[in-house]
């Protein structure tokens, strides 16, 4: 049933007739798509085409704004999803999308970008050493881009100014990212590893060159991290396997145990005779002072005493034998030895001198050896040189001599003068020549005692 409206002014205009409401609506929506033409206050952008109105499906590539949103061919049938691509690398953000029938500036048909402010970061990017996830696929940084030990260096290498990750990283090329003391340019420690990463070979003082288990440097507090089993440090000679801290000290002229700056006293030639007190190790030989030619010096305070030294008459075994030679032994106990002294006597204190011509206790011709020595009393006509001086063998005598054997006889004028009882040589007459003084002994005349007097 039609509804009739008869407004006064419209009635007058139409000769007083009334127009149905459907007719009025059709006058505003000419294409009968249910939307009023825009020019009549509606939002139908094309009231001549019933397929064009707000909410209509946009049809791509028809050149028409089908849904009256002011955009032509922006979405709808045949449209694609676009992703916001702020950096223009061809990859957009998954969280900012739209549909469009064509690619629009600032948008991309490929999403998945994880950093839309960096051209080098997108799903197809190659992962490089820069501290960020370049391909947007990994859930975390690759290990080579992580500073696990916190020393400021990562294992991979990068050019200056290309690091985009943590500001605590200052460089790459870390050769051991489990050790915070090992990185490029690190100070070298005594720990058995090359702390400076690629700075050449391990320093010699960290290499056990002689294989004795000890290194030359002083071990770092963090301990040994090198190869092999280490016994200790502070090796004072790492080119000699017998020299290390605590090594047994050998007679070789070097401080084998590294415990002192000076050699043990028995490895020092104290008297300058080129021999040391200790016996030189047969396997090592002498490695010390080149002036030393041997060991086993039995008296290192005496330069005349050493193995093979020429024997001197001084009371000591100069050649370091067990006992003295017989000519340096006072066999007869008279205080004199057979050899002629070479300088001062340093042996038995009872020896007064040398040159004992008979040191046999049994002596000669019945004269005991103890009575035969330098300075002994000479006895004439017994065939023995008691004072060991052939030049004095005829001077002085004990006993009686037959007068008929004398070359000259001097006889007193009286019977009891005992002329010749004593003799002496002295200057008597003042001529400067020696005079022979002959004593008379004691005699008595008229009961008056007289003393010995010279006769001429």
pLDDT tens for each residue of 185-220: 999 999 999 999 987 889 999 999 999 999 999 999
* Domain end (from 399, 422, 447): 399
How confident is the model at residue 452, as a pLDDT?
Answer: 45
**Confidence (pLDDT) at 239:** 95
One domain, residues 330 and 389: yes
What is the number of domains present in the chain? Answer: 2
Q: Tell whether 379 is covered by a domain.
A: yes
How far is 305 from 300, CA to CA, in rounded Å? 8
Same domain, 412 and 442: yes
CA atoms of 177 and 262, how far apart (whole Å) = 44
Q: Which domain holds residue 372?
A: 324-399
Indicate whether 389 and 416 sit together in one domain.
Answer: no
What pLDDT is stored for residue 427 in this prediction? 59
pLDDT of residue 158: 96
Do 334 and 388 belong to one domain?
yes
269 occurs within a structural domain: no
Residue 392 lies in a domain: yes
Rounded-to-5 percentages of helix, strand, coil across the chain: 10, 10, 80
Residue 436: the pLDDT is 62
Burial 387-400 (b: 16+ CB within 10 A, else e): bbeeeebeeeeeee
Q: How far apart are CA 33 and CA 49, in angstroms?
A: 8
pLDDT at 402: 60
- Of 377, 399, 421, the position where a domain reaches its end is 399
pLDDT at 403: 64
Q: Same domain, yes or no, for 329 and 394?
A: yes
pTM over 0.75: no
Closest residue by Cα to residue 122 from 279, 132, 267, 46: 132
- From 410, 408, 405, 404, select the one nearest 422 (Cα to Cα): 410
Residue 435 is predicted with a pLDDT of 61
Q: What is the pLDDT of residues 320-355, one digit of tens each?
A: 988 899 999 999 999 999 999 999 999 999 999 999
The answer to whether residue 118 is domain-embedded is no
Q: Which value, to the nearest 10 degrees, does the dihedral of the CA atoms of residues 234, 237, 242, 245 take?
A: -20
pLDDT attached to residue 456? 41
Domain presence at residue 257: no
Q: Does some domain include residue 451?
A: yes
Per-residue pLDDT of the chain (456 residues; tens, 9 = 90+): 344 444 443 443 444 455 555 555 566 789 898 999 988 989 999 999 999 999 888 888 788 888 998 888 777 777 888 999 999 888 999 899 988 888 889 999 899 888 888 888 999 889 999 999 998 988 889 999 999 999 999 999 999 999 999 999 999 999 999 999 999 999 999 999 999 998 788 999 999 999 999 999 999 999 999 988 899 999 999 999 999 999 999 999 999 999 877 899 999 999 999 999 999 999 999 999 999 999 999 999 999 999 999 999 999 999 998 889 999 999 999 999 999 999 999 999 999 999 999 999 999 999 999 999 999 998 877 889 999 998 876 554 444 556 665 666 666 666 555 565 556 555 566 665 556 666 655 544 444 444 444 444
Mapped onto helix, strand or coil, the DSSP state of residue 90 is: coil
Same domain, 331 and 395: yes
Same domain, 332 and 388: yes
CA distances from 191 to 138, 179, 236, 286 (A): 37, 11, 17, 34
Tell whether 417 and 381 lie within a shared domain: no
- On whether both 381 and 412 belong to a single domain, the answer is no
In a domain, 418, yes or no: yes
Helix (H, G, I), strand (E, B) or coil at 381: coil
> Cβ distance 235 to 189 under 8 Å?
no
pLDDT in the model for residue 3: 40
What is the spatial distance between Cα 33 and Cα 58, in angstroms, rounded to a whole number? 15
Task: Answer yes or no: is 339 within a domain.
Answer: yes
Beta bridge partners of 454: 439
Q: Taking Cα atoms as reference points, which of 356, 306, 321, 316 lies closest to residue 336?
A: 356
């Amino acid at each position: 049933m039609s509804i009739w409206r008869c407004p006064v002014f419209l009635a007058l205009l139409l000769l007083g007739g009334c127009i149905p409401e459907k007719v009025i609506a059709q006058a505003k929506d000419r294409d009968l798509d249910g939307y009023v033409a825009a020019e009549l206050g509606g939002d139908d952008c094309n009231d001549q085409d019933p397929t064009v109105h707000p909410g209509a499906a946009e049809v791509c590539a028809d050149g028409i704004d089908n849904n009256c949103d002011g955009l032509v061919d922006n979405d709808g049938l045949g449209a694609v999803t676009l992703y916001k691509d702020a950096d223009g690398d061809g990859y957009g953000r998954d969280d900012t999308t739209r549909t469009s029938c064509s690619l629009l500036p600032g948008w991309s048909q490929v999403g998945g970008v994880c950093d839309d402010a960096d051209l080098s970061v997108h799903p197809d990017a190659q992962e490089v050493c820069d501290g960020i996830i370049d391909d947007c696929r990994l859930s975390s940084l690759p290990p080579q881009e992580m500073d696990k030990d916190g020393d400021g260096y990562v294992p991979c290498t990068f050019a200056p100014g290309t690091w985009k990750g943590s500001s605590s990283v200052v460089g790459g090329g870390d050769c051991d990212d489990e050790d915070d003391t090992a990185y490029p340019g690190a100070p070298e420690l005594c720990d058995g590893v090359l702390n400076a990463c690629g700075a050449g070979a391990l320093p010699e003082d960290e290499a056990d060159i002689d294989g004795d288990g000890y290194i030359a440097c002083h071990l770092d507090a963090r301990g040994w991290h090198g190869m092999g089993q280490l016994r200790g440090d502070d090796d004072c000679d790492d080119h000699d396997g017998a020299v290390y801290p605590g090594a047994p000290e050998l007679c070789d002229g070097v401080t084998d145990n590294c415990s002192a700056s000076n050699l043990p006293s028995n490895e020092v030639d104290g008297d300058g005779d080129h021999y040391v007190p200790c016996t030189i190790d047969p396997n090592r030989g002498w490695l010390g002072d080149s002036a030393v030619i041997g060991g086993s010096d039995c008296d290192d305070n005496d330069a005349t005493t050493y193995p093979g030294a020429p024997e001197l008459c001084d009371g000591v075994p100069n050649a370091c034998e067990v006992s003295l030679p017989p000519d340096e032994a006072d066999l007869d106990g008279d205080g004199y030895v057979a050899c002629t002294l070479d300088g001062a006597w340093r042996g038995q204190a009872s020896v007064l001198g040398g040159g004992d011509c008979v040191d046999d206790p049994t002596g000669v011709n019945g004269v005991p050896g103890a009575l035969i020595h330098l300075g002994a009393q000479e006895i004439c006509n017994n065939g023995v040189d008691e004072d060991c001086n052939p030049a004095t063998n005829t001077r002085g005598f004990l006993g009686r001599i037959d007068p008929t054997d004398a070359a000259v006889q001097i006889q007193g004028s009286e019977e009891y003068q005992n002329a010749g009882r004593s003799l002496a040589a002295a200057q008597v007459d003042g001529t400067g020549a020696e005079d022979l003084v002959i004593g008379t002994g004691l005699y008595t005349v008229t009961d008056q005692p007289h003393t010995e007097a010279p006769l001429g």
